[in-house]
A and B are shown apart, each in its own frame.
Chain A
Amino acid sequence: MNIPQVDLYSILPVIVLSVFGIAIMVIEPFLSSKTRAGTSALGWLAFAGTLVAGAAIVPMHSRSGQAYSGLWIVDEYSTFFHVLFVLIASMTTLLSIDYLRREKMNHAEYYALLLFATAGMLVMAGSNELMMIFIGLEVLSIGTYVMAGFRRTDLRSNESALKYFLLGSFASAFFLYGVALIFGATGSTNLISIAAAMSRPDIQPGLVYLSAALLLVALCFKVAVAPFHIWAPDVYEGAPTPITGFMSVGPKAAGFAVLFRIFITAYPMIQDRWSDIMGVLAALTMILGNVIAIVQPNLKRMLAYSSIAHAGYITVAFAANNQQGGSAALFYTLAYAAMNLGAFAIVTLLGRERDEKTKLTDYAGLAWKRPGLAALLSLFLLSLAGVPGTAGFAGKFFIFRSAVQANHTGLAIIGVLTTVVSFYYYLYVIVQMYMREPGEDFSDARVTPALVLALLVATTGTVYLGILPGKLLEWTSASALHLLN
């Protein structure tokens, strides 16, 4: 069915997130400074916002079509990512509630920015037009720059924000340049019109290739695919821990969502080269991410490199360039969000005052003082490593399956071998937790309802997707098919 031209329903989730973000900022001045510092009401309000936005997505499930003169598109693909982004936002909010109070920076802007950034991600996934995508990308990026530097008095946080901002601006410039070139070549920024223009005889292939290369570089930067990953470790290490968790799953998934949509829809003429380029990038990313993660003494930094490695796995699925690959990539973004945010929930909790306890050795003997936390963190780490029966394994399995199907067996072999490497560093955290004697008693790490809720969601996701991946796989498969047609 056709959605009418001005269709507020189709952008309702974005509206909801924005309204809640603005409301949070408006409410804050009415709170006394004492209540403001102690309250978690704003956080729960933001959480409610994500839930309402989630509810607003539900009716999209059965709809598909375009709105606003082809700027906006509603399909299975965009709906999948909208659900994913809202989930990520709600999890991040839950992680932040206690964190902000502990770090004494309980400011409304934080939640507002989080909601705005999420709205930006929704815009990215739902746009059918390069300028719209750019707007979404900027809304997301600017929100994230600020959140990365939210611990104003901490040098590491400042460094993180500045690095992310400078390099991120570069990437944005690349993206804009790419858009400009393709507009010059085809006279349009609409993905479908671009694709249609490709078959015109007067098209200049040089411009098309150059624009594709620029867009690819910009988006590879956003998703931290090697060799455009250099910024990630410093930024991840310095940012407030919940934001690190958010950055490692949210913007990454959004970048992949856009990457796939742009290149599948608008650039049919480079289809045959796409696979090889992505294959090389994937191999490089998996090797670099996994090998360098081994030598990291800091858990946050290790998870940053591991997040680079995981971007590599997702890129393998793109290199496969078939329906199973697309489906596996979508599956993986969700599985990765569940397990990685679970891990970050515990890292946030155990970071304690000023995020100081994030070294691997700070986890020594955790299992014998806080067995529940250690067991859950082990579960998430084993899932990240890809032990069968967890979401991480199911995701990797589908990815490597698509690679073998596309005759990229070599890529799949690199993938599984680097997975073995990753076992080393994930298990090394478990070594610390279970096989070293405790140095402290961890009694000041207080588990709160928000954290319990977050851990519950993450654990359920990790185990459920590991044991019964069928339902989600059907959905991601349908979503990928939608895009490929």
Chain B
Amino acid sequence: MEIDKLILTIVTFTPALGALVLLLLSRKDTKAIRGLALAVAVVTFLLSLHLIAHFDSTKPGFQFLIDVPWVASAGIDYHMGIDGISVYLILLATILTPLAILASWSISDRAKEYFIFMLLLETGMIGVFAALDLFLFYLFWEVMLIPMYFLIGVWGGERRIYAAMKFVLFTMIGGVLMLIAILALYFMHGNATGQFTFSYPTILAALTDKMLLLTPQEELLLFLAFFLAFAIKVPLFPFHTWLPDAHVEAPTAGSVLLAGVLLKMGTYGLLRFSLPLFPNMSHLLGPLISILAIVGIIYGALVAMVQPDMKKLVAYSSVSHLGFIVLGIFSFTAEGVEGAVYQMLNHGVSTGALFLLVGMIYERRHTRLIADFGGIANRMPVYAAVFLFVTLSSIGLPGLNGFVGEFLVLLGTFGVNPAHAAFAATGVILSAVYMLWMFQRVIWGEVTNSHNESLIDINGRERLTLLPLMILIVWMGVYSNHFLRPMDTSVANLLSRVQASQGNDVRTAVRVPR
């Protein structure tokens, strides 16, 4: 099937192509520019539906493979493919991008550049999740920084330059060490097997077949180099300091994509590369990393609680939520990992929606301070209802998406280490505290600030932006099997490689009837 070979390339590069076309439009024609940008993003989304529609969830390996030599003399291939985990992350990116573009409708200042960077960012995001060649992966990983740098730096808030620079430099430091690790892996594999290649499946196969043996010291160093890159991106406590700055200064759409997709690259990297490539060190250091994750969960929640700025509150809540994901990954159980992947999607949807909501009210009032609001429900009833709905999803109300992910993560963790699960569970409680408290102060009560008297409720475009996310929140909460089953095989496959090195079968925390 020709189309199956090309579809990943098409989905990845359609936005970049759209950006090229945008380049040709006159900068004065803002309407045409944003219309075209939206159209390109929607088309990309529709194209990406092909991936999920034709995805064969019974196959354990990568699908929609394309593998052609790129720089043959250096062993670099253009090698892409997806499994049951990455297919969802690509969909997350293709869903959130059009919504982010819709949320940027009021951007009129330098709109052409803005939408060009948006679309380039989308190409980078999809590419990271689709790349199977380590060189290609690194390329997308770094290239994606540049559009985000511009989005924060040009269209951001007051301290945007500081935030943009910090974002790039933090991510770079982790990234370049990963590059050295990739090179080291390349030579170790080449020297052991005679085949010099950056192909991830090939190197992984050599590691699992014991063709390539790493000494514990080598494995430790390689693991740490990869881990640092991913931990900064996640961001795992204590590497999180760039995140609040970047979030607060970024424009709404930037925050949506940053929280929704970019942070997932870190957790995706842990899952895709760290665990399978370095299973021994993952196991050895897993408990330590889990503790960092738990510290992040509680610390993020506590700091979020005292934030006066809504956006900063949501940013710190991300630190807390991402801690859950890392905890799930390092439980090494099917439930924990599936919960982690589910939570990646949930966080993208719910936090994306939260950033959109904060952005909408910021656009009206040009402030995000909780103290400036109160009684918004009286003026914006629809907004208040949606806000409540998303808040409940974010704190994990049963029946909505957040619950499923958190439950699975806690279930997986409990089977391995009940104490970890107990501490992490306090994060669930704390999230209810900070989210509901913010909700109460912003939405309920009497209108105390006279500036809020004249607020207008959200319009049709804004409702359209939120609607898809609300549908997903319910859908993922009620019919979680629609999303979980297709990833079963991939998660089991991934864990089997991890467990094989430990000499036992896939651990299941608790037998859950399926």
Residue of B nearest to A405 (CB): B187
The reply to whether B165 and A469 contact each other, CB–CB distance below 8 Å, is: no
Sorting the interface of chain B by its residue count into under 10, 10 to 19, 20 to 34 or 35 or more gives 35 or more
The reply to whether A420 and B160 contact each other, CB–CB distance below 8 Å, is: no
Question: A434 and B72 in contact (CB under 8 A), knowing A388-B143, A405-B187?
Answer: no
The reply to whether B176 and A470 contact each other, CB–CB distance below 8 Å, is: no
The reply to whether A416 and B176 contact each other, CB–CB distance below 8 Å, is: yes
The reply to whether B74 and A401 contact each other, CB–CB distance below 8 Å, is: yes
Residue of A nearest to B225 (CB): A413
Q: Given A416-B179, A427-B149, output 18 extra A-B contacts at Cβ < 8 Å.
A: A389-B139, A389-B143, A397-B135, A397-B179, A400-B179, A404-B184, A416-B177, A417-B176, A420-B176, A423-B169, A423-B172, A435-B160, A435-B164, A469-B71, A470-B73, A470-B74, A473-B74, A474-B73
The reply to whether A416 and B180 contact each other, CB–CB distance below 8 Å, is: yes
Residue of B nearest to A400 (CB): B183
Question: A417 and B173 in contact (CB under 8 A), knowing A409-B184, A477-B73?
Answer: yes
A402 to chain B, nearest CB (A): 10
Q: Does B168 contact A (CB under 8 A)?
A: yes
Residue of A nearest to B176 (CB): A416
Question: A427 and B160 in contact (CB under 8 A), knowing A398-B74, A404-B187, A416-B180?
Answer: no
Number of interface residues of A (CB under 8 A): 34
Counting chain B CB atoms within 10 Å of each CB, which of A388, A423, A477 scores highest?
A388
* Segment 140-184 of B: residues with Cβ below 8 Å from A: 140, 142-143, 145-146, 149-150, 153-154, 160-161, 164-165, 168-169, 172-173, 176-177, 179-180, 183-184
Residue of A nearest to B190 (CB): A405
The reply to whether A424 and B165 contact each other, CB–CB distance below 8 Å, is: yes
Specify which of B70, B146, B149, B150 is in contact with A470 (CB 8 Å cutoff): B70
CA distance in complex: A388, B70 (Å): 14
Encode contact with A along B6-45: 1 for CB under 8 Å, 0 otherwise. Answer: 0000000000000000000001000000000000000000
CA distance in complex: A404, B173 (Å): 18
Specify which of A387, A419, A424, A469 is in contact with B146 (CB 8 Å cutoff): A387
Q: List 13 A-B contacts (CB under 8 A).
A: A367-B113, A387-B143, A388-B138, A388-B143, A397-B135, A400-B183, A401-B186, A416-B176, A417-B173, A420-B172, A427-B165, A434-B150, A470-B73
| Chain A positions within 8 Å of B164 at CB level | 431, 435
The reply to whether A470 and B161 contact each other, CB–CB distance below 8 Å, is: no
| Chain B positions within 8 Å of A427 at CB level | 149, 165, 168
The reply to whether B139 and A413 contact each other, CB–CB distance below 8 Å, is: no
The reply to whether B187 and A435 contact each other, CB–CB distance below 8 Å, is: no
CA distance in complex: A468, B74 (Å): 12
| Dominant secondary structure at the B interface | helix
* Segment 404-429 of A: residues with Cβ below 8 Å from B: 404-405, 409, 412-413, 416-417, 419-420, 423-424, 427-428
| Chain B positions within 8 Å of A428 at CB level | 165
CA distance in complex: A420, B175 (Å): 10
CA distance in complex: A401, B180 (Å): 8
| Chain A positions within 8 Å of B74 at CB level | 398, 401, 470, 473
Q: Does B59 contact A (CB under 8 A)?
A: no
